[in-house]
Structure 1
């Protein structure tokens, strides 16, 4: 355990919004961890919107830069600069690459001595490959130019650090790997809450659970196709928690495959942990990740997990916890076999979960920030 950083400093966290996502929940947990250690904390958002707004911890001040929606992160630069000049926090932690770049530019324009630490939550090579515009495609070059000015560069997994170094040319030794603070003291209590849906009642067929943004990265079509194959062999149900642009297409796919009666997609739910604890298997079908928060949470509440061996994070989590099944990316047959195996064999309890708790990660961030 690292030595605790002295309390009483003024800290800020900056990101685009608090719409559903793993990075958003991680930053909320870090804000809580910093405040619990006696620091004054501001949570600064390019636009104060998203379902996680209510989860900002008590005592943490929410700052809304109210940036216009189009290019809202980049267009928040003048107001973030003004915030830094006015408030002069001792340190600023940013998350997600566009916000990281804006945070470093704002510090320079403000002319303040605020220490800036940036954090990388996904594989930048995958973000570049999926980039819809030139701004996304040149992201590695922008990061390579701007990140050396940071007082710390954090990657949420070893794989993310390796990918970032290779894509940008920055020395791998400049990157710190700090796993996400995911497992909160309340997690067990939240997992014990009831789930009213009849599929989770005793004696019902096993439920396979997926959770995440309904977007390309998460590859829920593969999970639905794998489930449809499994469903032909045995009774089972599939629940997918989350919102996103692919919701209608996923619903259409369930109808096309004839499994719509066994698939439920309720959208975003406030307490996904109760669903994880009562599901027979938690499945992650992603094409790429950084350090998938939901996989850690599922393991923490005792669920069996099946995950694609996508870049990056799942293999590290399975190796460090000794629990879970890995399958190739975008391989419906392999995913179906993994689900079937997990349903047939007892789950091995996860180990070393303290690395993803609320003690070690906040302290490591504070060492870099202060």
Structure 2
């Protein structure tokens, strides 16, 4: 069934990231009139005739300036819309712009909320909560990427009847095809067993805990390697921590590749799946999420996953039949993967002894590394669960939203 109404997408930029990837994926199925960007970066393949940029800002522009610019973004957006238009926005600043622009042009504003609104804004919670309370209830519809995100929105005053949960979509065959791409020079890493994680090098992802856990595992598994995919502002802290832990550390823009390293920081990779698909385990120590793309993508690669039970998303993915409000305090061997206690949002030094949760994670990873049957079980279950998020299924929910 075709979508009858004229609609547009709005997002901060297409520089990279989970929300941007979701938008690009659904573009293939839903044909918008325009894709509006608040900033000028485009790092994804997109028909540039669809794109219209609302400012000269970039990802390097001061965030405070971009926040102050929200009314002007909104005015510029409204000048390009008709009253009958529908605008679907992704990410918070774009969501605020979308709703505010209704003051100038009476279009329909649909906003996509991708992060738990309480745990996901450390340090900025009061300001963010205030803006959400002002703007989000004025949207015509709010798309939450998980039940946990929906609950956090309700607690901040968004009417429940305005919220619909739509999980992120994934091109399963495409991901699985990309796992077969040759590794070329990176082949040397995978001569040994590998733990892998993927995500921005940022506080949210908690990678410093994984480095400390990995150091403990190396005592029993000297050939084990750790691969970390992604870039971000914690780059130098994580490199230094890894080296101070006594781990021989490869950095993508500094070192010559060989199999002699313990930890491999490989930066941003256009095809992360060829690495993920060859690992023993995908380990996800995030401190908070909305609905983690990397987790489902790893499962589509057929890799067993071990994830923090953070708010929100991992429990809904790995234990869909259990109450999503539960937060485990011990290892939980769930239906589709292993859920682990969440770490505190607190940086650690190399000389600090492992905390109780880190020891628990190390013991659980050890069990999975020595138990081939358990890994094979979770590999198969991961593939089965990934099918539930197949893009062809999820896109029907988006079509319903845009038609109704």
Please classify the TM superposition score into its range, dividing by the shorter chain length.
0.7 to 0.9
Q: For residue 251 of structure 2, what is the aligned residue in structure 1?
A: none
| CA separation of 1:60 and 1:259: change in aligned 2, threshold 3 A | farther
In the alignment, the residues of structure 2 paired with residue 60 and residue 283 of structure 1 have an alpha-carbon distance, to the nearest angstrom, of: 40
SS at match of 1:147: helix
Q: 1:281-300 to 2 correspondence within 5 Å?
A: 281-300=281-300
Deviation track 1:104-149 (CA, whole Å, cap 9, x = no partner) reads 101322x24x211111111111233332xxxx52222321222222
2:92 alignment partner, one of 85, 97, 105: 97
Q: For residue 114 of structure 2, what is the aligned residue in structure 1?
A: 121
Asked if the contact 2:308–2:339 (Cα under 8 Å) also holds between the matched residues in 1, the reply is yes
Asked if the contact 1:74–1:98 (Cα under 8 Å) also holds between the matched residues in 2, the reply is no
Q: CA deviation at 1:184?
A: 4.6
Q: For residue 53 of structure 2, what is the aligned residue in structure 1?
A: 64
Q: 1:41-80 to 2 correspondence within 5 Å?
A: 41-49=33-41, 53-58=42-47, 61-68=50-57, 69-70=61-62, 71-72=65-66, 74-75=68-69, 77-80=71-74
In the alignment, the residues of structure 2 paired with residue 338 and residue 182 of structure 1 have an alpha-carbon distance, to the nearest angstrom, of: 28
Q: CA deviation at 1:207?
A: 0.8
Q: Does 1:22 align with 2:18?
A: yes
1:357 alignment partner, one of 382, 387, 390: 390
1:333 alignment partner, one of 347, 353, 359: 359
| CA separation of 1:91 and 1:366: change in aligned 2, threshold 3 A | farther
Q: CA deviation at 1:293?
A: 0.2
SS at match of 1:359: helix
In the alignment, the residues of structure 1 paired with residue 13 and residue 67 of structure 2 have an alpha-carbon distance, to the nearest angstrom, of: 9
For structure 1, list consecutive stretches of 5 or more residues without a partner in the other structure: none
In the alignment, the residues of structure 1 paired with residue 194 and residue 293 of structure 2 have an alpha-carbon distance, to the nearest angstrom, of: 20
Asked if the contact 1:276–1:298 (Cα under 8 Å) also holds between the matched residues in 2, the reply is yes
Q: For residue 348 of structure 2, what is the aligned residue in structure 1?
A: none
Query: Normalized against structure 1, the TM-score is what?
Result: 0.88
Deviation track 1:75-95 (CA, whole Å, cap 9, x = no partner) reads 254244334333437311111
Asked if the contact 1:20–1:213 (Cα under 8 Å) also holds between the matched residues in 2, the reply is no
Q: 1:258-297 to 2 correspondence within 5 Å?
A: 258-260=246-248, 261-297=261-297
Q: For residue 86 of structure 1, what is the aligned residue in structure 2?
A: 80
Q: CA deviation at 1:254?
A: 0.8
Q: For residue 237 of structure 2, what is the aligned residue in structure 1?
A: 249
Q: For residue 28 of structure 2, what is the aligned residue in structure 1?
A: 32
In the alignment, the residues of structure 2 paired with residue 244 and residue 328 of structure 1 have an alpha-carbon distance, to the nearest angstrom, of: 24
Deviation track 1:5-29 (CA, whole Å, cap 9, x = no partner) reads x236432211212233212211221
SS at match of 2:197: strand
In the alignment, the residues of structure 2 paired with residue 186 and residue 54 of structure 1 have an alpha-carbon distance, to the nearest angstrom, of: 19
Query: Normalized against structure 2, the TM-score is what?
Result: 0.81
Asked if the contact 1:65–1:76 (Cα under 8 Å) also holds between the matched residues in 2, the reply is no
Deviation track 1:245-282 (CA, whole Å, cap 9, x = no partner) reads 10011010111111123001121010011111111111
| CA separation of 1:103 and 1:57: change in aligned 2, threshold 3 A | same
In the alignment, the residues of structure 1 paired with residue 11 and residue 277 of structure 2 have an alpha-carbon distance, to the nearest angstrom, of: 30
Q: Which moved more, 1:82-91 or 1:238-247?
A: 82-91
Higher relative helix content? 1
Q: How many residues align?
A: 350
Q: Which moved more, 1:182-191 or 1:74-83?
A: 74-83
Q: Does 1:158 align with 2:191?
A: no
SS at match of 2:89: strand
Asked if the contact 1:200–1:279 (Cα under 8 Å) also holds between the matched residues in 2, the reply is no
